[in-house]
Chains A and B, each alone.
Chain A
C-alpha cells in the first residue's frame, strides 16, 4: 500500500529501489555461496585426497631404486645443483679425506622451496633408509609463470599447508620482482585451491606405466661449454663483455676486496628463518641437513650466502654449511670462463666444487660426516 501523502512517482521509485536491492542481494548470495562452495571443496579436497604423483619431481626418486650401491647422501636443489654437483667426484674427495659416502644428485631444474619439501617428503616415504643426510642449496624464488599455471608442479607449490612458508620465502628474497611473484602466487593459489580442476586430476586415465628411468652419472647433468650451446648460453655469449665486467665485480665482492651488496637486515633475518625452516624440515624427515650455497651471479647472493653461513654456524642452529661464494673460491667460481650461462657453472668448475664440498665437509665435521655404510 502506498504511504499516505506519497506521490505515485515516489512509490514507483521506491519499488524500483527495492527491486534493485533484491537483485543485489540475490547476486551477493550467489557469489557468496559460490566462493564458499568452490574453496570449501577445493581446500578440503586437497587436504583429504591423496596427492597425485608429480612425475617431473619424483622421477629421480624412483631412479634411486636402480642404483646398485645404497645411497646415503643426496644433494637436492634447483638446476644450479643439477649442473654443479657431481656425486662421483664428491664421493672420491670425501673418501680420500677419510669419510666414505655414496651420494646422488636430486637436483631438478627450476625447483623452488615448496617443491623441494615435496621431493624430500616423497623421498622419505620411498627411501627411509639408508639415506642419512641431505645437502641442499637454497632454491630459486617462487615465481610462477602463467603459462605453467595449470601444471602439476604449480599444484605442488600452492599446497595450502605450505602457504605460510611459500609467502615467507617469496618475501625473503632480495629480488625486486617479489611483489609480482606474490601476486602470481596468490592467483595460482586461488586457482589450485578452488574446486576448479580438483577432482578432474583424479578422473583422468592413469598414464601408461613406464619403466623407471635410470639417470646417468647418478642424477648429475654436466654442462659442456664445447657442446652445442643452449639458448641461455647463446644469451651469455652475446652479452659477453657485460658478463665479464659483472664477473669481475662479483669476484672482488666474494674475495672481500669490494663492499658487499647490501641487504636489508630485516629481510635477511626473514631469509635466514626460511632457510632454517627448510633445514629443520629436513631434520624432521630423519636426514641431517647440510647447507651448500652454490654460486650465483648477483651481488646480493654473495652477501646472503655469507650471512647464512654465519647464522648456521651459531651454536643455537649448528647446521653444517659450505659457502662457495667466499674468499677461498672466488678466483675459481667468478672466473669469466667458469660459467656456462648466466646461472650455471660449466663442467670443470662443477668438478672443482663437488670435490671441494666432499673434502671440506669431511675435514670440518670429521668422522661424523662418514656414512654408516662406509664405516
Chain B
C-alpha cells in the first residue's frame, strides 16, 4: 500500500476516524497496532510474521537485559540480540547476492555448480525496522533507556505504519514516551500536516514518478544519448530520488502528525549543502545519525587521532552503502562519500576562515558538492558496475556517444524545480499558505489537490527506498 494510492486514503480515513473516536489510549494503541499490521500485510501477509518475530525477540531481549544482574550477562544478551537481528537482515537482504557470487566464483574456478534456485523475497522495510529495533536494545544496554513492560507499546513503536517501511528511523526514546500520553485532536496542527502531505504527494507522484521514465531510458541505454543528456539524466535522478524519499518522509511525518505523533525530520534541503559533511547533516538524517551513534562512535569515533577517525568514517560510509544492498555499486557509492568526507575534513583544517562566509565561495561549494553527490548517485542508480563506469566517465567528460537528447527540456525543468525548492527552503510557500484564512485555505487546498491529479502518472511506482 503506497501513500499515493487511493486505497491508502480509504485506509487512513478509516484509521483516523476510528482512532480519534476512541477515548482510551490503550484502545487507540490497539487501533494503531492492528492497522499497522494490515498496512504491512498489504504487501505480503507473510512479512507480518517476520515483523512480529523481530518485535517479540527484541522486546524479550530488552526485558532480559534489564533483569540481568551482571554486566557479562547483559553483554551476552546484547550480543545475541545484535547477532539475531543482523542475521535476519543478512539472510533476507544478502542471501541472493552471496549465493550468486559463490556460484560465480566456482564457475570462475572451473568448478561446475548449479545456480541456487531458492530466492528469498526481500521483506519491504526490513532494514528500517531492524535498525529501529536494534537501537532499542542497544540503548537499554547502554543504560540510556528503560525496557518497556508493555508489549503493546513496543509493538506499536516497531510497527507504527507511517514510518514502518521507509523511515524515518525513529529512536525508542523519542517515540515511546509519546505513546504514554492521551492525544487531544485540538492540539493537532492539522493545516501544517495537510500542507506537508500535499508537498510530499507532489514530490513523489508529480515530480519523481514523472522523471523516472526519462532517467530509466538514459540509464538503460546510455550509449544512445548525448553527453549533456547524461549529465541531465544524472541531475534528474538526483531530483527523482530526493523527491521520492523526502516525499515519502513528508507524507509519513504528516500522517503521524494527524494521529498526534511527531517523527524525526529526515531531510533539510540537502542539495543546498555547501560540503559533503553538510550534506550528511541534511540527507537521510535518521540513518546518518543512527550510523554515527551505533557504528561510528562504537568504532572509536574521533578518539584516537585523525587517521583513526578517518578510518572509522570510511568504514561507516562503506557499511552505510552496503546497508542499501549487496552490490559493488553501493560499496563505491559509500566509498565516494567517505572519501569526500575525509577530503573535506582535511581541507577544512587548512581553509582560511574568511572564505567560508563569502557568497560566491558558498555558491561554488554548493555546486561542487552537488556535482560530487550526482557522481556518486550514478553508482547508486546504475544496473551494474560496467554501466556505472561508462556513465560516470560520460558525466565527468560531458561526452556521450549517442544522438538522443533530453537536456534541452530538462534544463528549464531543473531550474524551475530549483527555484521552487529555494522558495520553500525559506518557508515562503508553506508560510504563505499558513497565513490564509480558513475558507481560502480549504478552497485552495481542494483546487490544488484536484489539479495535481493531472500530473499523477497512470501507474504507481513503488518508493525507491522500499527496496532497502
Taking Cβ atoms with an 8 Å cutoff, the residues of A that contact B are 22, 25-27, 29-42, 45, 150, 194-201, 203-205
Which of B210, B438, B447 lies in contact with A33, CB distance below 8 A? B447
Which of A26, A201, A203 lies in contact with B438, CB distance below 8 A? A26
Contacts known (A41-B451, A205-B213); A30 close to B445, Cβ less than 8 A: yes
Query: Inside 8 A of A201's CB, which chain B residues have their CB?
Result: 458
For the complex, is B298 an interface residue (Cβ under 8 Å from A)?
no
How many of chain B's residues have a CB under 8 angstroms from any CB in A?
A: 24
Interface residues of chain B: helix, strand, loop or mixed (majority): helix
The 9 closest A-B CB pairs, nearest first, are: A37-B450, A33-B446, A38-B450, A195-B454, A34-B446, A195-B453, A30-B446, A196-B453, A37-B447
11 pairs of residues in contact across A and B, judged by CB atoms under 8 Å: A30-B442, A30-B443, A33-B446, A35-B446, A150-B459, A195-B453, A195-B454, A197-B456, A198-B454, A200-B456, A200-B458
Docked CA distance A27–B16 (Å): 15
Docked CA distance A205–B224 (Å): 15
Query: Inside 8 A of B217's CB, which chain A residues have their CB?
Result: 205
Query: Inside 8 A of B448's CB, which chain A residues have their CB?
Result: 37
Docked CA distance A37–B454 (Å): 10
Query: Inside 8 A of A39's CB, which chain B residues have their CB?
Result: 450
Closest-by-CB residue of A relative to B194 is A30
Query: Inside 8 A of B443's CB, which chain A residues have their CB?
Result: 29-30, 33
Query: Inside 8 A of A36's CB, which chain B residues have their CB?
Result: 447, 450
Shortest Cβ distance from B220 into chain A, in angstroms? 11
For the complex, is B42 an interface residue (Cβ under 8 Å from A)?
no
For the complex, is B449 an interface residue (Cβ under 8 Å from A)?
yes
Query: Inside 8 A of A197's CB, which chain B residues have their CB?
Result: 453, 456-458
Shortest Cβ distance from B216 into chain A, in angstroms? 9
Which of B439, B444, B454 lies in contact with A45, CB distance below 8 A? B454
For the complex, is B429 an interface residue (Cβ under 8 Å from A)?
no
Taking Cβ atoms with an 8 Å cutoff, the residues of B that contact A are 210, 213-214, 217, 438-439, 442-459
Contact A29 B442 (CB under 8 A): yes
Contacts known (A198-B454, A201-B458, A203-B210); A26 close to B439, Cβ less than 8 A: yes
In addition to A196-B456, A197-B453, 16 A-B residue pairs with Cβ atoms within 8 Å of each other are: A30-B446, A30-B449, A33-B443, A34-B449, A34-B450, A35-B446, A36-B447, A37-B446, A37-B448, A197-B456, A198-B453, A199-B454, A200-B454, A203-B210, A203-B457, A205-B213
Shortest Cβ distance from B445 into chain A, in angstroms? 6
Contact B458 A150 (CB under 8 A): yes
Query: Inside 8 A of A205's CB, which chain B residues have their CB?
Result: 213-214, 217
Docked CA distance A119–B448 (Å): 36
Contact A41 B454 (CB under 8 A): yes
Query: Inside 8 A of B438's CB, which chain A residues have their CB?
Result: 22, 26
Closest-by-CB residue of B relative to A155 is B458
Which of B213, B439, B447, B457 lies in contact with A34, CB distance below 8 A? B447
Query: Inside 8 A of A37's CB, which chain B residues have their CB?
Result: 446-451
Docked CA distance A112–B450 (Å): 30
Interface centre among A27, A30, A201 (most CB of B within 10 A): A30
Docked CA distance A197–B4 (Å): 13
